[in-house]
Amino acid sequence: MTSHLALGLAALGFTACTMSSTAPIEATTHFEFTSFDGPGGGNTTVNGMNDDGDVVGFTMATTGSATVNTNFVRHPDGTFTTLSISDPAASANGINNAGTIVGVANSSAFEMPNAGQLAALSPFGAATSVAFGINETGVVVGQFTKSATVSPGFVDAAGAFTEIDPTAASIMTFAQTINADGTVAGFYTEDGTTQHGFTYDSASKQVALVGDPSTPRIQASALVLTQLLSINGRSQIAGYYQTTDNSQYGLVYDVADGTYVFLDEPQAAPFNGVQTTQITGIDDANELAGFYIDATGAQHGFVATPSK
């Protein structure tokens, strides 16, 4: 199903690291949304996309007490490739232009080259870990368990691991995404509830904290968390924010000028009083991907293409 949306821009002045940005998503940008359901039945979750328009994610089906994830790649022509991962709870989280997929299986981060074998990653020898993103040079980002109370982020450059802790008080850090320039984006929490965005320059090892958004929805129902989930080569970052009524709304943050754009999948509708859109992918052509929940409570994936 295809629908259209024109954006409204909320420009919020935050201090951010300076990076070049061209042809950003802006107030006049229109999107054509296409929704889809992945193979395997059940709700569809989209976790990431590459610059070729390939989208990675999973569907979740429950039979009795058993839950099985069917992981997939959705290609730009609308066809699917089902991924064979030896864990019913596995999650395919990221994909680069070479088709290498990263995620988590059997409580460990993994990397799976296009049509290749799954290889477990072991950041700092951690017993549990998850990989969220991979860039064009094969650098992987994710999270690992350091202790019973602390789970930092990590960058894996050909087996050389670097720990990420945005603040001294961070107890959980989610390094979600990395672009070709080595800029990492994600979110962190200091109290286990509220979450805030950050960027990390993997060359200089410098962190920049991203200011939280402010919208009329946040004024009506206070902000709980901001998650930055996918960064493109222009350092525009897609994600979402959540308010105290548990509703989630899509956003794109521009690192260069510190502004947010807010948008939802047009078919997203309140279900039991909660509305959901998460934007989990953005590519260099400003195409978006993510998922939403409709008025019946069903969760669908979407891709969105800008058209001015």
Alpha-carbon dihedral of residues 227, 243, 149, 105, nearest 10 degrees? -50
Among residues 223, 227, 207, 165, the alpha carbon closest in space to that of 190 is found at 165
The answer to whether 290 and 283 have CB atoms below 8 angstroms apart is no
* Residue 23 CA: distances (Å) to CA of 181, 214, 259, 286: 17, 24, 14, 9
Min mean pLDDT across 15-19, 176-180, 229-233 is at 15-19
Tens digit of pLDDT for each residue in 239-292?
999 999 999 999 999 999 999 999 999 999 999 999 999 999 999 999 999 999
- pTM of the full predicted structure? 0.91
What is the arithmetic mean of pLDDT over 199-209? 97
Q: What percent of the chain has pLDDT over 70?
A: 91
Tens digit of pLDDT for each residue in 153-194?
999 999 999 999 999 999 999 999 999 999 999 999 999 999
Residue 308 is predicted with a pLDDT of 61
Residue 134 to residue 183: CA distance in whole angstroms:
11
What is the arithmetic mean of pLDDT over 20-28? 58
Among residues 73, 74, 112, 68, the alpha carbon closest in space to that of 90 is found at 68
For the chain, domains (ranges, CATH) are 2-10+45-306 (2.120.10.30)
Instruction: Examine the pLDDT at 26 and tell me if it is beyond 90.
Output: no
| Residue 284 CB coordination number (10 Å) | 15
The answer to whether 65 and 48 have CB atoms below 8 angstroms apart is no
What is the arithmetic mean of pLDDT over 12-26? 43
